[in-house]
């Protein structure tokens, strides 16, 4: 049960559950991340082996028994906009040990945690040791960034374990949390499932792959192999099927790399692949007494030559083997003369898949047009990143360079490469300052904390609530951060002094003095308060952004490294509109939204994992060049 408090008023409610009995996915993800932030992950020993960055069943149950999440938001006072006020909301989760174990089982079903001693186990046991999965770390990273949480104690985990780089989210109905199945959603899911090229495992070598390499290989798409049928009376020669995979492996992959929760939901999505004619059963060599779980989905079929059928059936057995059909290969662009990342190929396919609904729910022309517009906007952004894009698409140079810079700042791999370029041109401090101010503004506007609290903390008359204590500590951190930014970038002869002309520097110093004097009535003495910092740093940040867009970006996009990286980045536009935060809820309360929910899919990117992979990519290239 969760209860919320804001000042003296409180309210409580039970978490909503689906027809399968699990909590809604958003609640599951938020509660999981809150629990992990509250834990002190450390080494735990079991079966004569020590597992780092882990927690036990008892630790999880104790924290879930009384878990408080406090969030403070800063904003203008509605009655006096010049004043900044802070609103603190505290959410308390309380549950029995049995409920806590059941909730932890949902975390396992969603592939957020795994048994450290036996990762293949799907049961949350009474005396177990557990670690975060790559998917769990991705969710945790997004939650921390969204809610302004101090995560210093979790940095060793992010640095030492694989993280899911790109997680595909399938949008759900607000009423029952079921995935909204449309042809465009299944298309997006299938393309992510099979990868940009067939993922045949590399041949075995003398040097075994480490955990990061093994995970990165899996992330490319479902592992494929060739399956051979035995010769029959009608066929003298054995028949070889290409692009095959085990049914159980498909369920595991869907749970690990998408927002699918549990094998049941994964099996339903796989059955949709069958219904859409994208995969087909090759063989199921189970014995007669072996159990067989078969998932069936139904929908309308357009008829004619369409590969879409009314019924799709997926066998969840250990011996079942499926293959990618010719229709699946076509949809994945494996056989296309264009590259898998070709903008025009993707645009054509996505547009054709959106018209009408295969499940019999009609969509208005207006919705189709808006979907087309969104896809076209994404593609045109990718085309603008190309130096040689068509003159007809070109607008004012200042605008296109601004769009390019936003794209670079959003894509972690490109941002890393851009930093290297600026370092080579002796102006890296521009990007460093922009990112530091961006982080400072985010921390100024919102801060959160999660902690397990004992009964004493909840007694009336307690000196400090967790929210108040978190806010005080956060304010101290902000003051320190504002001071560091000033000393690093703006103070005369500072370590990373911004390269701006003398006139602007004098104007900024004068502006700083005016702001501080108007707010405090005192002259600026070198001390910067957070309230002053957000105002003055934002103006300088805008100037630095324009400087990078007009001076650095045009040179950067002509470099060979950028052109190579642009092909390495996947073909979607990671802008704020397209990559949603995990903690964002429906735009309107369930039941009050008169617009039909049409569904969709989107990807979130892990900054930690993407930058790590980019560093490894550059290191591998350097070693190749050094060896040649």
Summarised one tens digit per residue, pLDDT across range 254-270 is 999 999 999 999 999 99
pLDDT at 303: 73
Whole-angstrom CA distances from 217 to 109, 221, 259, 385 are: 23, 8, 19, 28
Cβ proximity of 450 and 151 under 8 Å: no
Res 518: pLDDT: 59
Q: What is the pLDDT of residue 253?
A: 97
More confident call, 118 vs 597: 118
Domain match, 68 and 140 both: yes
pLDDT of res. 322: 97
The answer to whether residues 156 and 217 belong to one domain is no
- Higher-confidence residue of 611 and 190: namely 190
* Average pLDDT score over residue span 26-54: 92
Q: What is the count of structural domains for the chain? A: 3
Distance, CA of 134 to CA of 46 (rounded, Å): 22
User: What integer pLDDT is reported at residue 610 of this predicted model?
Assistant: 79
pLDDT at 326: 94
Say whether pLDDT at 369 is over 70.
no
Q: Which of 506, 508, 372, 368 is nearest to 433 (CA)?
A: 508
**Two tokens at 444?**
């100024």
Phi, psi (degrees; rounded to nearest 5) at 394? -80, 130
| 98 lies in some domain | yes
| 585-620 pLDDT per residue, tens | 334 444 444 455 677 888 888 888 877 877 777 777
pLDDT at residue 362 in the model: 33
Q: Answer for the pair 114, 131: CB distance below 8 angstroms, yes or no.
A: yes
pLDDT in tens, 200-250: 998 877 778 888 888 989 999 999 999 887 755 555 677 889 999 999 999
**Residues ≥6 apart with Cβ < 8 Å to 622:** none
485 compared with 592, residue with greater pLDDT: 485
List the beta bridge partners of residue 12. 3
Q: What is the DSSP string of 270-310?
A: HHHHHHTTSEEEEEE---TTS---EEEEE-----TT----S
pLDDT value for 261: 93
Token pair 């004569």 in the structure block, residue: 48
The predicted pLDDT at position 591 comes to 42
Question: What is the residue range of 277's domain?
Answer: 183-230+238-332
Ranked by mean pLDDT, the top range of 183-192, 363-372, 455-464 is 183-192
609, part of any domain: no
Tell me if 140 is assigned to some domain: yes
Residue 567 domain-assigned?
no
Look at residue 195 in the predicted model and tell me its pLDDT: 93
DSSP-derived secondary structure for 127-179 = T-EEEE-HHHHHHHHHHHHHHTB--GGGHHHHHHS---SEEEEE-B-TTT--B
What are 207's two structure tokens?
A: 């040097």
Q: Verify that 140 and 193 share a domain, yes or no.
A: no
Report whether pLDDT(379) > 70.
no
Q: Are residues 151 and 48 in the same domain?
A: yes
pLDDT band of residue 189 (cuts 50, 70, 90) is very high
CA–CA distance from 164 to each of 158, 212, 372, 568 (Å)? 11, 10, 29, 17
Is residue 621 situated within a structural domain? no
Do 153 and 221 fall into the same domain? no
Mean pLDDT for 112-137 is 94
Judge whether 92 lies within some domain: yes
What is the structure's pLDDT at 355? 29
Q: Is a pLDDT exceeding 70 seen at residue 557?
A: yes
**Quick check: 537 pLDDT over 50?**
yes
Q: Between 258 and 13, where is the model more confident?
A: 258
What's the pLDDT at 109? 94
Q: Is 60 exceeded by the pLDDT of residue 559?
A: yes
User: d(Cα 439, Cα 39) in Å, to the nearest integer?
Assistant: 25
Q: What angle do CA 619, 622, 628 make, to 5 degrees?
A: 140
Q: Examine the domain organization and report whether 158 and 189 are in the same domain.
A: no
C-alpha distances out from residue 588 to 89, 109, 306, 597, Å: 21, 28, 37, 11
Q: Is the residue at 356 inside a domain? A: no
Give residue 589's pLDDT.
40
Give the pLDDT confidence of 387-417 residue by residue, as tens digits: 444 444 444 444 478 888 988 888 777 888 8
CA separation, residue 589 to residues 173, 175, 586, 593, 595 (Å)? 12, 10, 7, 7, 12
Q: Residue 356 pLDDT more than 90?
A: no
Out of 332, 351, 370, pick the residue that ends a domain: 332
Domain boundary among 332, 351, 367: 332
The Cα-based distances of 242 to 184, 224, 229, 280, 335 in angstroms read 26, 8, 11, 12, 14
Residues 50 and 96 in one domain: yes
Does residue 20 lie in a domain region?
no
pLDDT, one tens digit per residue, over 207-219 is 788 888 889 899 9
Using a cut of 0.85, tell me whether the model's pTM lies above it.
no
Say how many C-beta atoms besides its own lie within 10 A of residue 96's C-beta. Answer: 11
Query: In angstroms, what is the C-alpha Rg of the chain?
Result: 27
Mean pLDDT of the chain: 76
Look at residue 383 in the predicted model and tell me its pLDDT. Answer: 43
Task: Please tell me which residue, 129 or 239, carries the higher pLDDT value.
Answer: 129
Domain match, 489 and 440 both: yes
Same domain, 552 and 407: yes
pLDDT at 529: 52
Q: Which residues are paired to 205 by β-bridges?
A: none
Q: How many CA atoms lie within 13 A of 319 on its CB side?
A: 9
Q: What residues form DSSP beta bridges with 601?
A: 170
Q: Are residues 90 and 206 in the same domain?
A: no
How many other C-beta atoms lie within 10 A of the C-beta of residue 119? 10
Tell which of 279, 305, 332 closes a domain. 332
Q: What is the CATH number of the domain that holds 432?
A: 1.10.167.10
pLDDT over 80 at 502, yes or no: no
Least confident of 537-546, 578-587, 596-605: 578-587
Give yes or no for residue 381 having a pLDDT over 60. no
Residues whose CB is less than 8 angstroms from the CB of residue 17 and which lie 6 or more positions away in sequence, other chains included: 23, 24
What CATH number does residue 45 fall under? Answer: 1.10.10.10
pLDDT reading at 29 higher than 80: yes
Q: Rounded mean pLDDT of 96-108?
A: 94
Which is more confidently placed, 601 or 490?
Answer: 601
Pairing state between β 240-246 and 279-284: unpaired
pLDDT of residue 606: 87
Does 271 have pLDDT greater than 80? Answer: yes
Of 544, 574, 564, 294, the closest CA to residue 422 belongs to 544
Domain check: are 140 and 259 in the same one? no
Residue pair 275/312 in contact (Cβ under 8 Å)? The answer is: yes
Q: Are residues 121 and 204 in the same domain?
A: no
* Nearest alpha-carbon partner for 190 in 309, 287, 81, 328: 328
Most trustworthy range by pLDDT among 438-452, 460-474, 538-552: 538-552
Per-residue confidence (pLDDT) for residue 461, from 0 to 100: 45
Helix (H, G, I), strand (E, B) or coil at 395: coil
């Amino acid at each position: 049960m969760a209860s919320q408090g804001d000042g003296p008023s409180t309210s409580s409610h039970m978490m909503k559950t689906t027809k399968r009995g699990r909590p809604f996915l958003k609640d599951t993800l938020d509660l999981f991340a809150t629990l992990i932030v509250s834990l002190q992950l450390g080494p735990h020993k079991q079966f004569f082996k020590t597992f780092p960055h882990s927690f036990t069943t008892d630790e999880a149950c104790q924290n879930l028994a009384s878990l408080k999440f406090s969030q403070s938001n800063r904003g203008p006072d509605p009655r006096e906009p010049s004043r900044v006020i802070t609103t603190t909301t505290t959410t308390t989760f309380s549950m029995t040990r049995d409920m806590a174990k059941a909730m932890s089982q949902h975390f396992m079903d969603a592939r957020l945690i795994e048994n450290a001693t036996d990762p293949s186990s799907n049961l949350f046991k009474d005396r177990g040791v557990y670690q975060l999965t790559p998917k769990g770390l991705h969710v945790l990273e997004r939650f921390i960034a969204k809610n302004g949480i101090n995560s210093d104690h979790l940095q060793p985990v992010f640095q030492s374990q694989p993280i899911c780089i790109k997680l595909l989210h399938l949008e759900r109905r607000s009423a029952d949390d079921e995935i909204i199945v449309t042809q465009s959603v299944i298309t997006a899911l299938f393309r992510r499932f099979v990868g940009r090229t067939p993922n045949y495992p590399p041949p075995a070598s003398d040097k075994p792959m480490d955990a990061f390499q093994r995970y990165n290989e899996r992330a490319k798409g479902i592992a494929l192999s060739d399956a051979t049928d035995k010769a029959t009376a009608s066929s003298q020669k054995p028949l070889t099927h290409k692009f095959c995979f085990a049914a159980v492996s498909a369920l595991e992959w869907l749970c690990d790399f998408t927002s699918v929760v549990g094998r049941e939901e994964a099996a339903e999505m796989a059955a949709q692949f069958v219904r859409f004619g994208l995969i087909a059963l090759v063989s199921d060599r189970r014995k007669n007494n072996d159990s067989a779980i078969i998932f069936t989905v139904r929908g309308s079929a357009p008829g004619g030559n369409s590969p879409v059928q009314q019924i799709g059936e997926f066998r969840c057995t250990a011996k079942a083997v499926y293959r990618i059909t010719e229709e699946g290969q076509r949809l994945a662009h494996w056989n296309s003369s264009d590259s898998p990342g070709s903008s025009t190929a993707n645009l054509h396919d996505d547009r054709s898949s959106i018209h009408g609904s295969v499940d019999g729910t009609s969509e208005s022309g207006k919705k189709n047009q808006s979907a087309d517009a969104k896809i076209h906007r994404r593609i045109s952004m990718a085309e603008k990143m190309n130096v040689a894009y068509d003159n007809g698409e070109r607008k004012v140079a200042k605008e296109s360079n601004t769009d390019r810079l936003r794209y670079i700042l959003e894509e972690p791999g490109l941002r890393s490469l851009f930093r290297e370029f600026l370092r080579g041109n002796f102006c890296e401090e521009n990007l460093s300052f922009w990112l530091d101010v961006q982080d400072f503004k985010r921390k100024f506007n919102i801060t959160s904390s999660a902690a397990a609290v004992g009964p004493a903390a909840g007694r009336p008359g307690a000196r400090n609530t967790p929210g108040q204590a978190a806010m005080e500590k956060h304010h101290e951190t902000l003051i320190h951060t504002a001071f560091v930014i000033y000393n690093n970038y703006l103070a005369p002869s500072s370590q990373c002094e911004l390269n701006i002309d003398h006139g602007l520097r004098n104007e900024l110093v004068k502006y700083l003095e005016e702001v501080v004097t108007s707010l405090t009535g005192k002259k600026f003495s070198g001390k910067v308060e957070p309230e002053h910092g957000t105002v003055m740093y934002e103006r300088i940040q805008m100037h630095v952004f324009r400087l990078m867009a007009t001076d650095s970006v045009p040179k950067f996009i002509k470099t060979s490294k950028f052109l190579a990286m642009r092909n390495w980045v996947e073909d979607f536009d990671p802008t704020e509109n397209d990559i949603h935060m995990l903690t964002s809820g429906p735009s309107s309360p369930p039941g009050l939204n008169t617009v039909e929910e049409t569904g969709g899919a989107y990807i979130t990117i892990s900054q930690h994992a993407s930058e790590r992979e980019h560093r490894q990519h550059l290191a591998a290239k350097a070693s190749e060049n050094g060896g040649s």
